[in-house]
Amino acid sequence: MANIKFISGDGVEHEVEETSPAADHMRTSGFQRIGDAKPETSGGEAAKPNLAKMKKAELVAYAESIGVTVVPDGMTNKAIIAAIEAAQA
């Protein structure tokens, strides 16, 4: 069976079996899956997430998924967003 990864709101990563009850719980409890394909817009381009509405752990996970290195304990949400936007420019 394949394992999948989730990240909780406090930034803790969890790896569980895809078909396990734990995975079902994480899907329905607001955990963000790490490594999911980005949603696409009708034009075939990846939709840009609303960074301002993300929690710090979500920002960190997103930043890392696009190759941006951040220091969660040393950066505010605004600083993380700025780093993400700079990398995307």
Mean pLDDT of 72-84: 93
Q: Are 13 and 39 in contact (CB under 8 A)?
A: no
N residues, the chain: 89
pLDDT at 86 over 80: yes
pLDDT tens, position by position, 7-20: 877 777 888 888 88
- Whether residues 53 and 17 share a domain: the answer is no
Mean pLDDT of 58-77: 89
- Whether residues 32 and 53 share a domain: the answer is no
Note whether residue 43 is domain-resident.
Answer: no
pLDDT at 6 over 80: yes
- Whether residues 27 and 52 share a domain: the answer is no
Closest to 54 in 3D by CA, of 89, 85, 9: 9
pLDDT tens, position by position, 38-49: 444 455 555 678
pLDDT for residue 36: 56
Mean pLDDT of 52-79: 90
The overall pTM is greater than 0.75: no
Note whether residue 41 is domain-resident.
Answer: no
Note whether residue 42 is domain-resident.
Answer: no
- Whether residues 54 and 31 share a domain: the answer is no
Beta-carbon-side half-sphere exposure of residue 73 (alpha carbons within 13 Å): 0
* Residue 8 structural domain: 1-36
- Whether residues 55 and 27 share a domain: the answer is no
Note whether residue 5 is domain-resident.
Answer: yes
